Amino acid sequence: MRRLSEAELNVLSVLWSGDGRSFGLGEIVDDLKPVTGWSRNTVLTYLTRMEGKKLVEIDRSSDPHRYRAAVSRETCAAPERRSLLEKVYGGAAGDLIAAFLKESRISEEERERLKQLLDEMEV
């Protein structure tokens, strides 16, 4: 999967927020307006183009049309993570993780999950 543009990510973020449910155009416009300032026509143009890229599914059998993400957040996140890891940290995953942990607080639950993950990896 290729990396997403910021605009595509904005649109998909709205669609992912529905946990698989479809959205009407008005709902998407209302969610994007404060972030992007886009008009209804601009949002519709993005949705149509993203359908062509197989990022969005459009249900044309309903009136009005309904829109849903055709790709998962995780599918899109993987190339973004790889790019950041290679570009900024030269592929050193440990350095990336250490930087995140130094800059943000994590809960006890997250800490335990990280410990478990490291144990499972036999690091």
Verify that 19 and 60 share a domain, yes or no: yes
pLDDT digits (tens, 9 = 90+) for 85-111: 999 999 999 899 889 888 888 899 998
The number of folded domains in the chain is 2
**Which residues span the domain enclosing 38?**
6-69
Query: What CATH number does residue 29 fall under?
Result: 1.10.10.10
Q: Tokens standing for 67?
A: 């829109």
Chosen domain end from 69, 85, 103? 69
Nearest 10 degrees: Cα torsion 13, 17, 21, 26: -70
- Confidence class for position 65, pLDDT limits 50, 70, 90: very high
Verify that 19 and 65 share a domain, yes or no: yes
Strand partners, 94: none
Verify that 63 and 10 share a domain, yes or no: yes
Q: pTM for the full model?
A: 0.78
pLDDT digits (tens, 9 = 90+) for 25-48: 999 999 999 999 999 999 999 999
Verify that 46 and 101 share a domain, yes or no: no
Verify that 115 and 79 share a domain, yes or no: yes
The DSSP element (H or E) to which 120 belongs, if any, is helix 108-121
Cα dist from 84 to 31, 49, 93, whole Å = 28, 26, 10
Residue 53 in this model has a pLDDT that exceeds 60: yes
